[in-house]
Amino acid sequence: MSLNLDTLRLQIDSLDHKLIALLNERAQVSLDIGAAKKQAMDPQEEDSTHVYIPGREKVVFEKVTRLNPGPLAADSLCAIYREIMSASIALQKDVMVAYLGPVGSFSHDASMKRFGDSVQYASQGTIADVFEAVERGRCQYGVVPFENSIAGSVVPTLDKFVKSKVKIRAETYLPVHHYLLSKSNIESIRRVYSHPVALAQCQTFLNSRLKGIELVPCASTSEAAQLASKEKFAAAICNRVCAEIYGLDILHADIEDQQDNTTRFFIISDAWDAPTANDKTLLMFTVDHRLPGALCDGLKVFKDHNLNLTKIDSRPSLIRPWHYVFFVECAGVHGDSEAMHTVVAELGKYCLDVKIIGSYADQLVQE
């Protein structure tokens, strides 16, 4: 069959008109939803209304993937819907998201993946600054790295959860690929900047190609790129986008030890999300170390209630030496559920200072 280019272009124009009308119709319904939320709540609580509902977004992405007949790839269609929902969020309310910056960091990537291009972003110098921005109400949401598939837990994030009142609202997983960037050639490199976690993820490359070179830890990988861009014979291990942002050359690509390198991020806020069909919950508690088996008794509570533990960690409590806070993540239960209320009550028999840090839709399978 012969294809007429002019006819096809007219068809595209007609579809664009329909798309624009439908997108604006959807946006108006989104505004009506926001108005209905405000109408149903106390006016004094209006500022605390959440327009970012990650559980609902997960349902939308799953539906879009399920209904997609092609030829658009599911990832491409979900990316389009990410921006549609981002624009809807911005229409309902001014939203500010704090992230570990500067621009070009993996935290910035994770933030964009979760919130899209229509909300506002606030770069922070440290993970502690991200927590503070949310705690003080300067930002409604914050994005912090929690753990990496190679380097393990991100200690500054765990330490902030010990004292902070913020809650975990969502999780997201970001594939992480590291690049060696510089304005010099690799033979002349004398110093390499990067985040400590990124340095830990690239040990094989560093030991084989840059053995003995000074390694300088930074607050973020994008800060490392900033520093390397201003210093002769310096390099940075960071995100590929930093090459364009900071005027650096790519010397080597994909230098991480494992190609499936992935970092999990938490979206923090003043409240966790409503229950979904598949949630995870993170708790923290301490135990009396003078009582033999106290930790074992506490963990047995989860087994007795048939809850699978997906992560266990510990950090010094700073109350006294050799006293620890334990972090436990369990799958298939939400913090508002009767099951979790029962677990918390039973934990109280063996543990001290039991606190739910957050409940969030499990994103691992989908992403």
Report helix, strand or coil for 104: coil
The verdict on residue 26 lying in a domain is no
Q: What angle do CA 343, 276, 262 make, to 5 degrees?
A: 90
Q: Provide the pairing of β-strand 141-148 with 96-100.
A: parallel
How far apart CA 367 and CA 360 sit, in angstroms, is 14
Is the pLDDT score of 365 beyond 70? Answer: no
DSSP-derived letter for residue 45 is: G
The verdict on residue 215 lying in a domain is yes
The verdict on residue 42 lying in a domain is no
What are the phi and psi torsion angles at 148 (to 5°)?
Answer: -125, 145
Q: Which of 272, 302, 320 is the last residue of a domain?
A: 272
How far apart CA 125 and CA 136 sit, in angstroms, is 16
The verdict on residue 132 lying in a domain is yes
Say whether both 162 and 252 belong to one domain: no
How far apart CA 198 and CA 208 sit, in angstroms, is 16
The domain spanning residue 142 has which CATH number?
A: 3.40.190.10
Q: Provide the pairing of β-strand 214-217 with 152-153.
A: unpaired
Q: Which of 230, 258, 286 is the last residue of a domain?
A: 258
If pLDDT is split at 50, 70 and 90, which confidence band does 366 have? very low
Say whether both 221 and 319 belong to one domain: no
The predicted model scores a pTM of 0.89
* pLDDT for the residue 292: 82
pLDDT in tens, 205-229: 999 999 999 999 998 999 999 999 9
**189 near 209, Cβ under 8 Å?**
no
Domain count, the chain: 3
For residue 138 the two structure tokens come to 């300067």
pLDDT in tens, 219-266: 899 999 999 999 999 999 999 999 999 999 999 999 999 989 999 999
Is the pLDDT score of 367 beyond 50? Answer: no
- The answer to which of 36-50, 265-279, 305-319 has the lowest mean pLDDT is 36-50
DSSP-derived letter for residue 46 is: G
Is the pLDDT score of 313 beyond 60? Answer: yes
How far apart CA 199 and CA 218 sit, in angstroms, is 10
How far apart CA 353 and CA 127 sit, in angstroms, is 24
Say whether both 202 and 221 belong to one domain: yes
Say whether both 169 and 185 belong to one domain: no
How far apart CA 257 and CA 330 sit, in angstroms, is 29
For residue 227 the two structure tokens come to 């520093």
* pLDDT for the residue 364: 80
The verdict on residue 192 lying in a domain is yes
The verdict on residue 1 lying in a domain is no
How far apart CA 176 and CA 271 sit, in angstroms, is 28
Say whether both 346 and 297 belong to one domain: yes
Is the pLDDT score of 15 beyond 80? Answer: yes
Q: Which amino acid is at 163?
A: K
Is the pLDDT score of 45 beyond 70? Answer: no
Say whether both 163 and 76 belong to one domain: yes
Q: Which of 272, 303, 337 is the last residue of a domain?
A: 272
Say whether both 127 and 90 belong to one domain: yes
Domain interval for residue 331: 275-359
